[in-house]
Amino acid sequence: MRTAFIETLVELARRDSRIVLIVGDLGFGVVERFSQALPAQFVNAGVAEQNMTGLAAGMALGGKTVFTYSIANFPVVRCLEQIRNDVCYHNASVKIVAVGGGFAYGALGYSHHATEDIAFMRALPAMTVVAPNDPVEAELATRAAAALPGPCYLRLGRAGEPRVHESLPEFSLGRAITMRDGRHVAILATGGLLTTALAAADALGGSGISARVLSVHTIKPLDVDAVLRAAAETDALVTLEEHSIIGGLGGAVAEVVLEAAVRPRVFKRIGVPDSRLAAVGDRDYLRACAGLDVQSVTATIRELLRRGRKREATPQTVMATARGQQVTIT
């Protein structure tokens, strides 16, 4: 994805001198092609992400379209205050690019696991949050981010992600892409897990389970219409993300369906559990630890559908606590 991003950005910046790239003293195997081609539009801010963000905000308020670039948590968590106050408060045209979303830098340990970033960015005012699923979407998302007024967060993979789209899909921010239709379960995938969703759908299809698969490349603004259709037209609604189950795509989808009073028969967030993942290893290993590999995702969906059928056949009694009193809801 990062190669698709930088190649696209060089193309755009050649045509528009207002586009600037600022990096935090890393990624030179990737960004050198930009710095060599367009040195007057390139700045290395050093290992100083807060300064990088403040500089970007100032340049954007002076008429530039600024992309900041670093890996994993560094362009987000280290400078969250600057993003909130300098960028979002002023609605500045700063595009924050994080390379290595999720477990892409897993072997470097928890400090390099970007598993809460979507939640942080989604909570910020005026921020558009984009997590493309393959290099094709990364290219299209880069073009869309450059054209977008105001702040944007672009969450990329690291390298080597497979191309899923055989041709350029119809792409616009805030509009999910339907990869295949189905009626038993809808799998909404973001941030590089589209290949996992499609493989799980294939495995489920072998036993007669029809899966709808959506590429949800934009988490904010979310494609509300696609989410509500999936909730109403399928037996189960599943979100799939290499991110905490709190505050990411799963949380966004839950908010939408509850506020619209469109209750899915069963709903499941598949993501990183809300617990400290102390494991260190490559991306595939960490995905398996978090239940995000194809086998685990398939098994989770099978169990979800089984419980959904059992729930429909058996009247349910739910015990809840309200204001210190136990309430029974049947």
The count of structural domains within the chain is 2
Tokens 């897993």 -> residue: 106
Residue 141 has a pLDDT of 98
| Cα–Cα distance for residue pair 283/201, rounded to 1 Å | 21
Whether 13 has a pLDDT exceeding 50, the answer reads: yes
User: In which region does residue 114 sit, left (phi positive, over 0), alpha (psi from -120 to 50) or beta (all else)?
Assistant: beta
Shortest CA distance to 192 belongs to which of 101, 288, 322, 65?
A: 101
240 assigned to some structural domain: yes
Contact between residue 242 and residue 286 where contact means Cβ atoms under 8 Å apart: no
Clarify whether residues 126 and 217 are in a common domain.
Answer: no
Clarify whether residues 95 and 224 are in a common domain.
Answer: no
- Segment 162-189 mean pLDDT: 96
Clarify whether residues 145 and 188 are in a common domain.
Answer: no
Clarify whether residues 148 and 192 are in a common domain.
Answer: no
| Cα–Cα distance for residue pair 287/307, rounded to 1 Å | 24
| Cα–Cα distance for residue pair 138/186, rounded to 1 Å | 23
Q: Where is pLDDT greater, at 312 or 158?
A: 158
Clarify whether residues 187 and 77 are in a common domain.
Answer: no
Q: Quickly state the pLDDT bin for 318 (edges 50, 70, 90).
A: low
Residue 308 has a pLDDT of 81
For 257-314, what is each residue's pLDDT tens digit? 999 999 899 999 999 999 877 788 999 999 999 999 999 999 999 999 998 877 666 6
- Segment 228-247 mean pLDDT: 97
Residue 291 has a pLDDT of 96
Residue 93 has a pLDDT of 98
87 assigned to some structural domain: yes
Clarify whether residues 87 and 197 are in a common domain.
Answer: no
Domain with 252 in it: 177-313
Residue 48, both tokens: 């100083």
Residue 319 has a pLDDT of 52
320 assigned to some structural domain: no
Q: Quickly state the pLDDT bin for 325 (edges 50, 70, 90).
A: low
For 39-90, what is each residue's pLDDT tens digit? 999 999 999 999 999 999 999 999 999 999 999 899 999 999 999 999 999 9
Clarify whether residues 152 and 186 are in a common domain.
Answer: no
Clarify whether residues 40 and 99 are in a common domain.
Answer: yes
Residue 223, both tokens: 């494609």
User: Where is the domain boundary, 156, 186, 209?
Assistant: 156
| Cα–Cα distance for residue pair 159/282, rounded to 1 Å | 13
Tabulate helix, strand, coil % of the chain (nearest 5).
40, 20, 40
Clarify whether residues 215 and 143 are in a common domain.
Answer: no
User: Where is the domain boundary, 156, 191, 213?
Assistant: 156
Clarify whether residues 146 and 6 are in a common domain.
Answer: yes
Residue 329 has a pLDDT of 44
The rounded mean pLDDT for the chain is: 93
DSSP lists the bridge partners of residue 268 as: 238
The amino acid sitting at 18 is: R
326 assigned to some structural domain: no
Whether 162 has a pLDDT exceeding 60, the answer reads: yes
Q: Are strands 177-180 and 218-220 parallel, antiparallel or unpaired?
A: unpaired
Domain containing 298 — which CATH number? 3.40.50.920
192 assigned to some structural domain: yes
Whether 250 has a pLDDT exceeding 60, the answer reads: yes
Shortest CA distance to 248 belongs to which of 75, 122, 71, 112?
A: 122
- Segment 105-110 mean pLDDT: 90
Euclidean distance between the first and final Cα of the chain, in Å?
49
User: Where is the domain boundary, 123, 156, 189?
Assistant: 156
Residue 205 neighbours by CB distance under 10 Å: 14
| 46 Cβ contact list (under 8 Å, min separation 6) | 24, 25, 52
Whether 327 has a pLDDT exceeding 50, the answer reads: no
Helix axes 294-313, 194-205, angle to 10 degrees: 60
Clarify whether residues 220 and 292 are in a common domain.
Answer: yes
327 assigned to some structural domain: no
Residue 219 neighbours by CB distance under 10 Å: 28
The amino acid sitting at 156 is: L
169 assigned to some structural domain: no
Whether 118 has a pLDDT exceeding 50, the answer reads: yes
Domain containing 65 — which CATH number? 3.40.50.970
Clarify whether residues 121 and 211 are in a common domain.
Answer: no
119 assigned to some structural domain: yes
For 188-212, what is each residue's pLDDT tens digit? 999 999 999 999 999 999 999 999 9
Residue 330 has a pLDDT of 41
- Segment 137-163 mean pLDDT: 95
